[in-house]
Structure 1
Amino acid sequence: MIIGLVVVEALIMNAHNLKDKRSVLKSVITKAKQRYNVSIVESSHQDVWQRAEWSIVTVGNSRTQAETEIRRAVSIIDNHPDTEITSINWEWL
């Protein structure tokens, strides 16, 4: 069993207040949870309206399987029209 953790930091374009930011966060989190076997949560920058940090975690039988699920979830963030990823940090347990 392997546990994969990724911390993704991103800028949220076109967010003019926290309500705009929350809309983008909710969209990303809902899509990732529904489509892939991951847990995702906003882990930092809760009060900053143009920055976000997500922590994405999955458990798999192999590193390849876990990495595939996480990469798919990260692609949701990357392909969202209002987000621009600034950093990605991977950890394996």
Structure 2
Amino acid sequence: MIVYAECEFIIPSAHSLKEKRAVLQRMITRTKQKYNVSIAEIDHQDVWQRTLLALVSVASTQQAAEKELKRAIAFLESYPEWQCLNIHQEFL
């Protein structure tokens, strides 16, 4: 089963693309290391304080894939340098 999610974040402390990318790269790397998900920025690459991340989890059951994706999203939401604006989730 495949579970897909898009998470939109705002990074209020970022005052340049360099600062945004530092925060983003740190969180993408940590998420990949801790959880069995694929993650990438899919929109707002040229905007300083905003990002849209796509996460995908694949497992043998829908429950296992959804559980891993929710754990990764909870980890991302717990990071104090940004705020989650929106989450959209789909089962494929």
- Distance across 2 between alignment mates of 1:8 and 1:88: 5
TM-score, normalization by structure 1? 0.95
Unaligned segments of structure 2, at least 5 residues: none
| 2:42 partner letter | S
Unaligned segments of structure 1, at least 5 residues: none
2:33 equivalent to 1:40? no
Identity across matched positions, percent: 42
- Distance across 1 between alignment mates of 2:77 and 2:33: 17
| 1:63 partner letter | Q
- Over the residues paired in the alignment, what is the CA RMSD in angstroms? 0.7
Indicate if the aligned counterparts of 1:31 and 1:76 stay in contact, CA closer than 8 A.
no
2:69 equivalent to 1:67? no
- Offset, 1:73: 1.1
Once the two structures are superposed, what CA deviation does each residue of 1:23-75 show, in whole Å capped at 9, x if it has no partner? 11111100110011100000000000100000000101111111111111112
- Offset, 1:76: 2.1
- The count of aligned residue pairs is 92
Cross-structure match for 1:19: 18
- Offset, 1:9: 0.4
SS at 2:19 equivalent: helix
2:15 equivalent to 1:5? no
TM-score, normalization by structure 2? 0.96
